[in-house]
Amino acid sequence: MTGPARPAGGQRPTIKDVAALAGVSKGAVSMAFNGRPGVSDATRARVLAAAGALGWEPNLSARVLSGSRVDTVGLVIARPARMLGLEPFYMEFISGIESVLAGRDSALLLRLVRDPDEEIEVQRAWWRSRQVSGSILVDFRRDDPRVAELAGLGLPAVAVGHPSLTGGLPAAWTDDAAAVAEAVRYLAALGHRRIARVGGAAELGHTAIRTAAFEAAAHELRLEQWSSTDTDFSGSQGARATRTLLASPRRPTAILYDNDLMAVAGLSVAAEMGLSVPRDISLLAWDDSQLCQLTRPKLSAMSHDVFGFGAEVARRLLAVLDGAQPQTGPVATPVLAPRDSTAPPRR
C-alpha cells in the first residue's frame, strides 16, 4: 500500500504543510475544513486533496499520534429547554458528571432534542464522527427505541435507568420502587390513611415504576384513600396539583412529591390556602436538593445524592472507555430525611 506523502524530514504534517501544498494560506485550510464561507469550492477541494495526500487532518491526528486521548462524553436530553433550567435535578446530575470529567481533561457534549428518535440520530452522528467517545443515556421510556438502536451501534454507553427499561445496555439506577415503598410506609406509620402522590412525567419509565410501587404500597398498607397525578415536574404544575388536592372535599393528610421543586411549590400553596404544614397537611419531597432546607418549615424528603449519581455514572463510562467490562448495577437508594414538613395527622 501507498503511505501518505510526508513532508521532508519525516516530521508529522502540519497545517503549514497542507497550506503550502495547496497553495493557500493556513486560514484558508482552517476555513475549508471548518466548512466556513470564505473559500471557494475549488479551493476547498484542493485543500482536502492536499490534506489527504499528506495524511493531515485537523481534529484527531495530533492526539492519536501523540498517544494521548481526550474523551468527550455525550449527553442528550429530551426535555424542553425551559424545564431543564428550572428543575435542580439535571444541573446537579450534570455537575456530578463534570466533577469526574474535569479530572480527565474531558468535556461533556450536551444537546437538547424533542424525543428519543431525534436522540438516536444525534448519537449516531456523534459516534460516526467520533465527536464523542461514549454517551450517558437518560430518561428511558417504556419500549424505548434507543435500547435496540444504540446497542447495535457499538457506542460505549451507560444507561441511567432500571434494567426493565434499558434492556441490554450497561445501566445505573436508583431503586425507586423501594424508596417509594419506604416513603409510604413512613407516612402510614405516622398515622396517615389518606395519601396523595404528585408524580413526574407520565411518559418516563421511572415515573411508571414509582406509580406502580405507590399503588402496591397503598394496597399493602390498606390505606383509606390514595391517588397519583402526573405532571411535567415544574413548580407550576406541582402547585396546581396541590391546589386541586387540598381543595377536594376529603383532602389527603399527606402528599408525596416526585421532586423537590414541586414540594416547595406545594408548601407555598398550603400557606396560600391557610393550611399549616405539618399540622394540617404533611409534605414529603424527593431528590432533596438544598431547596428542601431553605424553606420554612424545612422539607422532609426522600434524599438522594444526585451529584454523586452523576459522578458515579461518569466513572462507569470512563472505566468502559479504559477497557473495563461495563458495570451494571444500582446506585444508593434514596433514604428518608425526616425534617419539619411531616408529622402525625390531626385527629
Within 248-307, which residues bind a copy of itself (CB under 8 A)?
261, 264-265, 267-268, 271, 289-291, 293-296, 306-307
Residue 193 Cβ vs a copy of itself, minimum distance, rounded to whole Å:
28
- Using CB under 8 A, which residues numbered 222 to 251 contact a copy of itself? 235-236
Residues 315-334 that bind a copy of itself (CB under 8 A): 321, 323
Q: Which is nearer to a copy of itself, 22 or 137 (CB)?
A: 22
Q: Which of residues 180-209 bind a copy of itself (CB under 8 A)?
A: none
For residues 132 and 218, which CB has a smaller minimum distance to a copy of itself in the complex?
132
Q: Is 11 in the site for a copy of itself (CB under 8 A)?
A: no
- Minimum separation from the CB atom of position 256 to a copy of itself (A): 18
Please list, in sequence order, all residues whose beta carbon lies within 8 angstroms of the beta carbon of residue 179, skipping any fewer than 6 positions away: 286, 302, 304, 333, 334, 335
Phi, psi (degrees; rounded to nearest 5) at 58: -75, -25
Which part of the chain contacts a copy of itself (CB under 8 A), choosing from 111-119, 136-144, 184-192, 335-343? 111-119
| Single-letter amino acid code for the residue at 158 | V
- Nearest CA to 232 out of 132, 331, 338, 86 is that of 86
Nearest-10 crossing angle of helices 41-54, 15-22: 130
- Pick from 7, 43, 108, 280: which binds a copy of itself (CB under 8 A)? 108
Q: Is 2 in the site for a copy of itself (CB under 8 A)?
A: yes
Q: Does 42 bind a copy of itself (CB under 8 A)?
A: no
Q: CA-CA distance, 277 to 211, in Å (whole number)?
A: 24
Give the separation between CA 68 and CA 116, rounded to whole angstroms: 33
Interacting span for a copy of itself (CB under 8 A) from 43-51, 173-181, 217-225, 332-340: 43-51
Q: Which of 9, 11, 42, 67 binds a copy of itself (CB under 8 A)?
A: 67
Nearby residues of 260 by Cβ (< 8 Å), 6 or more positions away: 88, 285, 286, 287, 288, 289, 291, 292, 299, 301
Q: Which stretch binds a copy of itself (CB under 8 A): 45-53, 171-179, 181-189, 221-229?
A: 45-53
Q: Is 278 helix (H, G, I), strand (E, B) or coil?
A: coil
Strands (DSSP E) contained in the chain are 72-77, 107-112, 134-137, 157-160, 171-173, 194-198, 225-229, 254-257, 282-287, 300-303, 329-330, 335-337
153 is a contact residue toward a copy of itself (CB under 8 A):
no
The nearer residue to a copy of itself, 196 or 265, going by C-beta atoms, is: 265
Query: Residue 297 is which amino acid?
Result: P
Q: Of residues 125, 148, 189, 332, which one binds a copy of itself by CB under 8 A?
A: 125
C-beta closer to a copy of itself: residue 4 or 168: 4
- Give yes or no for residue 9 binding a copy of itself (CB under 8 A): no
How far is it, in rounded angstroms, from Cα 296 to Cα 264? Answer: 10
Residue from 38, 145, 168, 329 binding a copy of itself (CB under 8 A): 38
